[in-house]
Homo-oligomer: A and B are copies of this chain.
Amino acid sequence: MVLKSTKLDTEALLLEETLFHTANGYLGVRGNMEEGFDDPKSIRGTYINGFYDTVDLSYPERLYGFPVQAQRMINLPDIQTIKIIFDGNELSPLINKPAEYERTLDTKEGIAKRHLIYTVGEGTLSVIYTRMASFCRPELFLTVLEITSKNLSGKLELKAGINCDVRNYTNPDDPRVAAESVRHIIMDDAKTLDDGGYVCCSTSASELEVALLQRYKATGMDISTRATATGVEINLTTHINTNKKYSIEKYSILSDSIRQPKPVEYALGAADEYIKAGAGALLAEQKDYMDEFWHVAAIKTEGNKEVEDTLEFNLFQLLQSTGRDGITSTASKGISGEGYEGHYFWDTEIYIFPFFLFTKPEIAKALLTYRHSIINRARENALIMGHKSGALYSWRTISGSECSSYFPSGAAQYHINGDIAYSFMQYWYATGDIEFMAQKGAEVLIETARLWLDVGHYSADGRFLLHCVTGPDEYTCMINNNYYTNRCAQANLKGAVTVYEMLWQQNAAGHAEQATGITQEEINLFEKAADAMWLPYDEALDINPQDDSFLEKPVWDIAKTPNDKFPLLLHHHPMHLYRFQVCKQADTVLAHILFEDGIKDSTKRNSFDYYQRISTHDSSLSRCAFGIMAARLGLENKAYEYFYDTLITDLENTHGNTKDGLHTANLGGSWMVTVMGFAGMRLNEKGLHFKFMQPGMWNRTCFKINYLGRIINVQMERDKSKLSLEKGQPVDIYVNDEKIRLNQTPLELPHT
């Protein structure tokens, strides 16, 4: 799809900066204007996924174990600026209204463009900016500037460069963005090159280094460069003749000391290579990458272009947002803004991971590799939180240590452990990658399982209980036996047993045993606790209560709450919210999606109805879960409603804060409703399952699934679906709980 903006609305600019940003999982550049470094209304941002500074956390009352330092993804020196001066007059849409203005994001090509035409005297100057964050060369941010003159001539100057005088965006009144402003970037060196220059910077506290280099290819233009106290100035000048076209290629290279021992040298070498390849080849390479991506990832919703386009937009943004180097994950806002300070949450494992697992499993594997890479931080965190053994993943983090400073809806969300374990198990079921489970997966599963044994205890009547934790719903905190948490702890314990026994049988348990010291005795304890896990159930309502005392509380009157009092968390003291049956987001309903085992259909349906009435969906992680469950329950209209709200969250800015970055979990959620909801896909120890339900809002849904190395082609229609293997050996899957063998010949299955 091509996202288009055809007029310059300064009120919409902050939003567009996010929507039109360009990123590749490593670097992210907001869709700021090249012309507008000084624009005060802009959040001008350049980021590297996982590149952080540490900030001190100070509390009026600091209790034991409260984190004293957090990581923050920092805004890097500005590399976007290219001011255009023609005959001494600056040309900028912020100053002179251009005759024509168009901005596009092409999700098929993986590039963003702006095209402006300025009237200058009798003539015009056409300016096209093309931007690309290269998926094939992660360190490269490429800008191609094409200037075409018509009926005019004069002096053309381009003022560009690298500016280190930058800060992060702050808002002390919104707990969802950073509260105070600190100068994170210290410029250590600025050097010029014949055709550009570079800066070396370090972070003020975390002592990381980053090099930002910029070089130009601009035939027919003079380049002058100058190092300053705040960066590098790069000026390009020429005398432009009438009806002439200039093409300027700008190569910006970012390299950091987390990935490279010598960032500057690496950037210099990479620049040589990329300039040699040239913009044309690099753009073509991007197109090839995108073609290959869309070949599997695309979802066609025949008869509903809006849905298809928006899904494409969402999935493209996921591709832009997600780290794939094994040392990063997907920040809750991707690399598109500074909301939640670039932290990784459970969003990745539960909402984003599934899309990659089934369309681009190498990225899914990289996400798990990241979690494994920080397991020692999780072990340390477990000790801080009072546990004798095991690993407790941090609720929000970049480098692994806990960054949540309000623990009741932060560090108390122990389900993060179960969420991560769930994603490892899903990976195992989807790939059968024994090597990975032996080297990394088992260690994570065992250490996370171990934690539950220490958190929980047995009641007098033999139930295994988990006290004082917080489930996904952040309007109900520090409660006993959160159904979701207990459910995912149970799966975590069982998963550790399953994988350990599998490895043991394959004679491949050595590494896991060495890394964890696991014994058969402990495996037995895992099994015992899983079997004894207490899962609250209310007989009369036939629902799973969210926790032990949830149903005792009065019900919040959502209908009577004025619209301007949402999200509730911005208008009510948390303790007040905790006293009511009111949910910020899907909790039990999500558990019923992820862990279906042994739940009666009636319980799912009743729980859905019950929690639907008391959920505000103030979290963008909520509606997609309700959408999946509605689809699975056959509630077509409801499902479509939730799906559509999920679909357009960022594009329509329905939460009002997309300016701070995309809602990446929600983006993944739109894929989940489609595939896990409408197509009823789920993956468990038995295998891959579908239960199709084509909604009436379009005719046919076509998508592909990567499963055990195969590519499965799915065409879902209103009353039947077609399945076939596009690639790979025949494989068994389940449709409506019946086993079928898939091969290259399409199988037509009427819906029951």
Contacts and interface: CB of A to CB of B under 8 A. Distances in A.
Contacts of A554: 457
A385 B577 CA distance: 10
A467 interface: yes
A467 B58 contact: no
B63 A405 contact: no
Given A467-B553, A478-B478, A58 B61 contact: no
A208 B455 CA distance: 50
Given A459-B552, A549-B548, A574 B63 contact: yes
Contacts of A578: 467-468, 478
Given A386-B576, A408-B408, A468-B579, A70 B64 contact: no
A385 B61 contact: no
Interface stretch (A345-353, A355-363, A564-572, A661-669): A564-572
B549 A172 contact: no
Given A467-B549, A467-B552, A549-B480, A59 B406 contact: yes
Nearest to A403: B60
A64 B406 CA distance: 12
Q: How many of these chains are in the complex?
A: 2
A573 interface: yes
Contacts of A240: none
For A70, A172, A406, the residue with the greatest tally of chain B CB atoms inside 10 Å of its CB is A406
B63 A406 contact: yes
A405 B60 contact: yes
Interface residues of A, number: 53
A478 B478 CA distance: 8
Contacts of A387: 576
A181 to B, nearest CB: 13
B175 A63 contact: yes
A404 interface: yes
A728 to B, nearest CB: 48
A639 B284 CA distance: 86
B410 A61 contact: yes
A5 to B, nearest CB: 34
A179 B478 contact: no
Nearest to A458: B554
Contact of A175 (B61, B179, B468, B571): B61
A291 to B, nearest CB: 43
Nearest to A551: B460
Interface string A469-488: 00000000110100000000
Interface in A426-461: 455, 457, 459
B64 A571 contact: yes
Contacts of A570: 64
A62 interface: yes
Given A478-B575, A579-B468, A179 B549 contact: no
A60 B57 contact: yes
Contacts of A465: 552
Instruction: Give the one of A63, A70, A407, A570 with max B CB within 10 A.
Output: A63
B575 A468 contact: yes
A412 interface: yes
A558 interface: no
Contacts of A173: 62
Contacts of A407: 573-575
A543 to B, nearest CB: 15
A65 interface: yes
A599 interface: no
Given A412-B575, A468-B575, A552-B465, A59 B61 contact: no
A180 interface: yes
A384 interface: yes
Contacts of A319: none
Nearest to A568: B64
A386 B573 contact: yes
Contacts of A576: 65, 385-387
Contact of A574 (B64, B70, B573, B577): B64
A386 B467 contact: no
A63 B569 contact: yes
Interface in A139-183: 172-173, 175, 179-180
Interface string A58-86: 11111111100010000000000000000
Nearest to A478: B478
Interface in A664-708: none
Contacts of A459: 552
Interface string A4-43: 0000000000000000000000000000000000000000
Contacts of A499: none
Contacts of A480: 549, 552
A411 interface: yes
A130 to B, nearest CB: 40
Contacts of A179: 58-62
Given A549-B548, A549-B549, A172 B573 contact: no
Given A386-B576, A459-B552, A552-B467, A404 B64 contact: no
Interface string A533-563: 0000000000000001100111000000000
Interface in A69-109: 70
A404 B61 contact: yes
A482 to B, nearest CB: 13
Given A179-B62, A385-B573, A579 B57 contact: no
Interface in A280-306: none
A393 to B, nearest CB: 15
A283 to B, nearest CB: 42
B579 A467 contact: yes
A64 B385 contact: no
Contacts of A408: 408, 478
A412 B579 CA distance: 12
A386 B572 contact: yes
The 10 closest A-B pairs by CB, nearest first: A386-B576, A65-B573, A60-B405, A61-B406, A457-B554, A57-B60, A61-B175, A468-B579, A468-B578, A467-B579
Given A60-B406, A64-B571, A455-B579, 15 more contacts: A58-B172, A59-B405, A59-B406, A60-B70, A61-B179, A63-B573, A64-B569, A65-B574, A65-B576, A386-B572, A386-B576, A407-B573, A408-B408, A467-B552, A478-B478
17 contacts: A57-B60, A60-B405, A60-B406, A61-B405, A62-B172, A62-B173, A63-B175, A63-B574, A64-B574, A386-B572, A386-B576, A386-B577, A407-B574, A411-B575, A457-B553, A467-B552, A548-B549
